[in-house]
Amino acid sequence: MEVRNGETFQCSIGNLPQTLGERTKGMETPIQVVLRIRPMNQAELRRGEQSVLHCSGPRTLRVSPLGGGREVAFHFSMVLDGARTQDEVFQGSGVQRLVELALQGFSCTAFTFGQTGSGKTYTLTGPPPQGEGETVPSSLTGLMQRSFACLLDKIQHVGTPITLSASYLEIYNEQVRDLLSRGPHHYLPVRWNKTRGFYVEKLKAVKFGTFEEVMKLLLEGLRRRRSSAHNLNEVSSRSHALFTIHIQCPAVSPSRPKEQTFGKLCFVDLAGSEKVAATRSRGELMLEASNINRSLLALGHCISLLLDPRQKKNHIPYRDSKLTRLLADSLGGSGITLMVACVSPSAQSLPETLNTLRYASRAQRVTTRPMPKGPPVPQPLGLEEEIQQLRQENLMLKQRLEQPLGHWGSRNKGSQSDWAERSLYGMLQEFMLENQQLREEKNQLRSSRDCAWNEQQVLVQQFKELNRRLLCSASHSIRCPPQHFSRATLPCPCSASRGRYQALGCHVLPRLCSCHCNQLCFLCYAPLPPCAGSRLHQAQMGEPSLLPGYLPSQILSELPPLPVFGAQAKAPWKMEVFSPQVQTQPFVQPPGPNLREHPVKRKSSEWTWAHFLEETLAKEEASGRASQVIPSAPPLPQSACGTPWRTGGVPSASRMLEEELEVLRDQIDCNLYLSQGKPPTSQEKHFDSRQHLPPC
C-alpha cells in the first residue's frame, strides 16, 4: 500500500479473488469493475472546466455537480484517478491475475468502456503512435502490452511447452472483420455450437512465442482498425476490437490428457458511446455512431437482464448484436471478466459520465461461473459407433438404390435383415417401375385422344363437304329430272303462288309438304302465302330444328352460302317464320283417314328428316291422296325406270351419300365419346349427333 496526495492507493487487484482457481471452479463470481478517470485534456483545460469527480478512498467515487447539486457516490473494485500512471493502472486493475487464470485454462476477458474520448484505447494500448514506424514509449504502454510481457514471463517459469496464438478482429457497423488478415476485407460470420459457444468462423489465429511477435500482431491490427477524427477525439475508434490470446497448456503427464487446458485472454476495446450533437458526426461518422450506440445498448440490456436471477435462467438476448454474442461467455458464462470503466472528469461530460458510472455499477453485480476450458470433449464411444454404423448403412443403401432392377432377384436369400432390405427395396423398385408404366400409359392415352380429336375434325370437314355435295346433288337431280337430262327446271312452287312473292324463283328439294303452308320457301327462304291446310301443316312444324328450312345456326354458319334469289331473300334463322305458338307445339302426326285416330307424340330423337320424308311419302302413296291433300305439290321426280327417286335411280348417288353420311355420323358419335376419354354419361347417352346435323 502506498500513499499519494493524501489518498490511499492500494496496489492490489481489488476484489478479484487471489485464490480464484481450483477452489472457485463453478462458484458464482462477480464481474470486477475498475474505474479510471483520465486527466483533463488540453481543450478542457483551455475552456477552464472544473472536475466534478472526486475519489474518496481507493474504491469510492463522489460525483459533485457544479452549482451545489446532490452529491452521488459510486463504489468499484478500484478507482484510479487521472494521476495514475499506466503501470499503476496495470498493477491496480487486476489484469495480472487474469493472466494467471488464463494460464490455468480459464477464459478471461478485460474490456474498457465509456464515452468517446474518455481514454479506453489509451488504457489498453497507450497513446497512438506519433508517426509511421514510431513506437509507444514503454512507460506509456497500456494494459495489453504489459499483459503480454507478464504472460510470456510466467510461461518461462512454467517449464512445459505452451502454445500461444493470437487473433484480432473488429466489429465495424455490425460486421466482423479479421484485422490480422492481409488482402481485401472479408466479413466473417459469427456461428454457434454446443462445445464452442459463439465463435467467428475462419478467423485467423497466428502463433507467436515472443513479445516482439505478439506486438507485431497488435500493431498490425491497430493499423487496420477503423478510426476517424471528430469533435471530441482526433483518433476516435469507430469499431469494437477484440484481441484474443489462446493459451494451450499440455498435460503434465501424457497418460492424463484430460489435464490439458485451453485458456483464453481477451482484450476488448469498445468503441465509445457518443452524442452525435456533441461529436457533430455527419454521414459515415453518424452511421458508425448509430451502430456503436445500438450495440452498446444491446450490451447494457444483456447486463440488466443478467442481474435478475430469474431472467438469467431464461433468455438473454445475446443474439441482438455481434458484440453481445462474442461477449456472451464473458458476461454470463464460464469466463472471468474485468471491466475498466473510463470517464472524463469534465463537468461538460457529466451526463455521459453518469451513464457510464451507472452502467459500471450494474455490471459489477453480474456473476459468472468460471470453469477452466479443457480439451474438446470427445463424443461418447457409443454415439461415435452409432454414427459410424449409420454412415455405412447410408452408403450401402445409396449404392443399392443405384443398382439395376434385376439385381434383387439374383440375390441369395439370407438373414432376416437381408430379407427386410430386399423387400423394402424391392417394393421401392416395383413402385418406381409401376409409376413409370403408368406414366407411359397416360402418355399413350393422351396421344390417342389427340388422334381421335384430329380424326373427328377431319370427319366433320368431310361431313360438311358431303352435306354440301348432297344438297347440290339433290337440287340438281330435281332441276334436271333424269328422264329429261336437260337443264329445264320444274316450276318453283313459289312461282306458282300469287302475291308479291310470285316473281321469286326458287329451287326444289324434297320437302315436308309441297304446299306453301309452312310459309317459307326453304331454298330461297322467301315467305309464302298460307294455304287452306295451313293449320294442319303448321302442326307438322312443331320440331322446327328438324325442318329443312331450319338448320342449326352453327352448322349454317359453316356451310357454303346457299344461292339467294331475290333481294328480299333472308337467312332462315333471322326470319320470323315460326310463331312462338308453333315452336312450342310438340310434333303431332297429322290425323287423316288412313292414319291413327289419335295423334301420336314422337320423341325428337326418333325424328329425322329422312325418316319423316320416307314415312310421309309412303303414306301418301299408299292412300293415293297425295295430290288431294297437297294440290300444289310438284310431281315427284321419277327415275329412268319410272320408280320414285327415293327408291333408287338417279338419286342413288344421293342415297349413297346419305349412307356414307350415316356412317360418318356414327363415327362422329364414337369419336365424340372417345375424345372425352371416359364412358358417356347418362346425358351423353341421349346425345344424338343427327339432331345437330342438317337433314339429308
Residues that bind ligand ATP (CB under 6 A): 38-39, 41, 114, 116-122, 127, 233, 235-237, 271-272, 342
Residue 279 marked as a ligand binder: no
Kind and range of the H or E element at 269?
Answer: strand 261-269
Which of 361, 355, 339 has the alpha carbon at shortest distance from 32?
339
Which of 170, 218, 455 has the alpha carbon at shortest distance from 178?
170
In the complex with ligand ATP, the residue whose CB is nearer, 233 or 639, is: 233
Is residue 260 within 8 A of residue 251, CB to CB? The reply is: yes
Which of 332, 329, 323, 330 has the alpha carbon at shortest distance from 304?
332
In the complex with ligand ATP, the residue whose CB is nearer, 283 or 561, is: 283
Residue 540 marked as a ligand binder: no
Pairwise CA distance, residues 72 & 64, whole Å: 7
Burial of 126 per CB tally in 10 Å (0-12, 13-18, 19+)? buried
Residue 119 marked as a ligand binder: yes
Residue 120 marked as a ligand binder: yes
**Least distance to ligand ATP, CB of residue 272, Å:** 3
In the complex with ligand ATP, the residue whose CB is nearer, 45 or 420, is: 45
In the complex with ligand ATP, the residue whose CB is nearer, 303 or 342, is: 342
Calculated CA dihedral for residues 502, 503, 509, 512, nearest 10 degrees = -20
**Least distance to ligand ATP, CB of residue 237, Å:** 4
The residues, any chain, with a CB within 8 Å of residue 276's CB and separated by 6 or more, are 286, 289
**Least distance to ligand ATP, CB of residue 72, Å:** 22
**Least distance to ligand ATP, CB of residue 42, Å:** 9
**Least distance to ligand ATP, CB of residue 271, Å:** 5
In the complex with ligand ATP, the residue whose CB is nearer, 145 or 429, is: 145
**Least distance to ligand ATP, CB of residue 335, Å:** 23
In the complex with ligand ATP, the residue whose CB is nearer, 34 or 664, is: 34
Pairwise CA distance, residues 529 & 515, whole Å: 10
Pairwise CA distance, residues 259 & 249, whole Å: 9
Is residue 245 within 8 A of residue 209, CB to CB? The reply is: no
Which of 170, 132, 164, 134 has the alpha carbon at shortest distance from 149?
164
Residue 177 phi, psi dihedral angles, 5° rounding: -130, 140
CA atoms within 13 A on the CB side of 213: 12
In the complex with ligand ATP, the residue whose CB is nearer, 118 or 519, is: 118
List 176's β-bridge partners, or say none. 171, 188
Residue 115 marked as a ligand binder: yes
Residue 114 marked as a ligand binder: yes
In the complex with ligand ATP, the residue whose CB is nearer, 38 or 59, is: 38
Pairwise CA distance, residues 169 & 541, whole Å: 100
Pairwise CA distance, residues 529 & 486, whole Å: 31
Contacts 24+ apart (CB under 8 A), 581-584: 582/538, 582/541, 582/542, 582/544, 583/542, 583/544
Pairwise CA distance, residues 486 & 484, whole Å: 5
DSSP string, 627-642: HHH-TTPPPPPB-TTS
List 206's β-bridge partners, or say none. 166
**Least distance to ligand ATP, CB of residue 105, Å:** 31
**Least distance to ligand ATP, CB of residue 65, Å:** 23
In the complex with ligand ATP, the residue whose CB is nearer, 349 or 429, is: 349
**Least distance to ligand ATP, CB of residue 141, Å:** 13
**Least distance to ligand ATP, CB of residue 112, Å:** 7
Q: Where do runs of H (alpha helix) occur along 225-327?
A: 276-279, 284-307, 309-313, 322-326
In the complex with ligand ATP, the residue whose CB is nearer, 116 or 477, is: 116
Residue 13 phi, psi dihedral angles, 5° rounding: -115, 40
In the complex with ligand ATP, the residue whose CB is nearer, 271 or 515, is: 271
Residue 627 phi, psi dihedral angles, 5° rounding: -70, -25
Pairwise CA distance, residues 650 & 652, whole Å: 5
In the complex with ligand ATP, the residue whose CB is nearer, 221 or 370, is: 221
**Least distance to ligand ATP, CB of residue 235, Å:** 5
- Output the nine-digit C-alpha cell for 306: 443478467
The gap between the terminal CA atoms of the chain, to the nearest Å, is 130
In the complex with ligand ATP, the residue whose CB is nearer, 274 or 329, is: 274
Is residue 10 within 8 A of residue 55, CB to CB? The reply is: no
**Least distance to ligand ATP, CB of residue 74, Å:** 19
Mark 129-157 as b/e (b = at least 16 C-beta within 10 Å): eeeeeeebeeeebbbbbbbbbbbbeebee
In the complex with ligand ATP, the residue whose CB is nearer, 239 or 337, is: 239
Residue type, 601: K
Pairwise CA distance, residues 142 & 126, whole Å: 5
Residue 263 marked as a ligand binder: no
Residue 648 marked as a ligand binder: no
**Least distance to ligand ATP, CB of residue 37, Å:** 8
Burial of 507 per CB tally in 10 Å (0-12, 13-18, 19+)? buried
**Least distance to ligand ATP, CB of residue 123, Å:** 7
DSSP string, 164-201: EEEEEEEEETTEEEETT--SS--EE-EEEETTTEEEET
Tell me the binding residues for ATP. Answer: 114-121
Tell me the binding residues. Answer: 114-121
